[in-house]
Amino acid sequence: MAQVSSADKVAASQMRRTYKLAAQSRSGYQAVQPQAVISLVLGILSVTCFLTVYAIIFPIAGVVFGWVGRREILRLPKERLGMGMAKTGVLLSLVFGLSGTGWVMYSFLSAAPPGYRLITFSDLQPPPGDRSPISQKAQDLEGKKVFLYGHMVAGEKPFGITDFVMVAEIAHCSFCQGQLKPTQMVEVHLKNGLQLDYSTKRIGVGGVFTSQPDVLNQQFGGMIYRIEADVVR
């Protein structure tokens, strides 16, 4: 019996593959464009934009993959499938991306009561290297109504509190308060008969914002920022 050489085996394999491709071509075989499938998956994942702005990467990638897939399908219409998936992926990415991101931004901006400007402790910090005792943003807030979220620092009075210090994180307790910068604390005075009981939960206060950078020159220092609060959440 004659032995078949390796070269003959390779040639036979290539011939079978050629016949298979030719048969597929005659039968109208079309492959699904991978980018179209990826775009559809990313479009579905874009619904997470309603949870966080960081999910914006999904709709952006979904639009890109959908556009690439659509272009390839148009270039090889007889060999590629998936135009519907590509279009659906782009549509879902745009709808979920725009509406989800808009919802997150609206939720953030509407977190403050009407007439109050939502601020954070980061807004009150001077830029690195700036020798000014307070930030420019803090100066611009002088005398305006603001709304700030934070945590109460435990004091001597646990109930019926009308004056307290607010910090950004609960870890900033009374024992480590001395390690904080003056700009990382805000003195809060509750007006109109408002009172609070001490809690470790995050709270929000709204009222007129004032700053006193001159207290840093005093012997015992003091609080730079103060809010005369008439709203508590």
pLDDT tens for residues 118-142?
999 999 998 887 777 788 889 999 9
Domain co-membership, 122 together with 174: yes
Domain co-membership, 50 together with 66: yes
Domain co-membership, 103 together with 140: no
Domain co-membership, 121 together with 226: yes
- CA nearest to 49, candidates 113, 104, 119, 118: 104
Domain co-membership, 121 together with 227: yes
Q: CA-CA distance, 196 to 203, in Å (whole number)?
A: 10
Do the beta carbons of residue 177 and residue 231 sit within 8 Å?
no
* Per-residue CA distances from 54 to 85, 97, 102 (Å): 25, 11, 13
Domain co-membership, 126 together with 191: yes
Please check the confidence at residue 215 and state whether its pLDDT lies above 50: yes
Q: pTM for the full model?
A: 0.54
Please check the confidence at residue 220 and state whether its pLDDT lies above 50: no
Number of H helices, E strands in the chain: 5, 8
Domain co-membership, 121 together with 105: no
Cβ atoms within 10 A of the Cβ of 113, count? 14
Going by the DSSP 8-state scheme, the letter that residue 129 receives in this structure is: T
Domain co-membership, 101 together with 194: no
Residue 42 included in any domain: yes
Region 104-112: mean pLDDT is 75
**Total domain count for the chain?**
2
Residue 1 included in any domain: no
**pLDDT confidence band for 207 (50 / 70 / 90):** very high
Domain co-membership, 159 together with 203: yes
Residue 148 included in any domain: yes
Residue 149 pLDDT: 92
Tokens of 213: 């950078």
Residue 219 included in any domain: yes
Domain co-membership, 134 together with 227: yes
Please check the confidence at residue 172 and state whether its pLDDT lies above 60: no
Beta strands in 97-224 (DSSP E): 117-119, 145-152, 163-167, 185-190, 203-211
Please identify, among 75, 109, 143, the residue that sits at the C-terminal boundary of a domain. Answer: 109
pLDDT tens for residues 51-91?
888 899 999 999 999 999 999 889 888 888 889 999 999 99
CA 31, distance to chain mean position in Å, is 38
Domain co-membership, 27 together with 129: no
Domain co-membership, 23 together with 66: yes
Residue 82 included in any domain: yes
**pLDDT confidence band for 225 (50 / 70 / 90):** very high
Please identify, among 63, 83, 109, the residue that sits at the C-terminal boundary of a domain. Answer: 109
pLDDT tens for residues 142-165?
999 999 999 998 888 899 999 999
Going by the DSSP 8-state scheme, the letter that residue 4 receives in this structure is: P
Domain CATH code at residue 125: 2.40.50.870
Domain that holds residue 33: 6-109
Task: Give the residue with greater pLDDT, 223 vs 50.
Answer: 50
Please check the confidence at residue 20 and state whether its pLDDT lies above 80: no
Place of tokens 């809010």: 227
Residue 40 included in any domain: yes
Residue 1 pLDDT: 46
Residue 17 pLDDT: 66
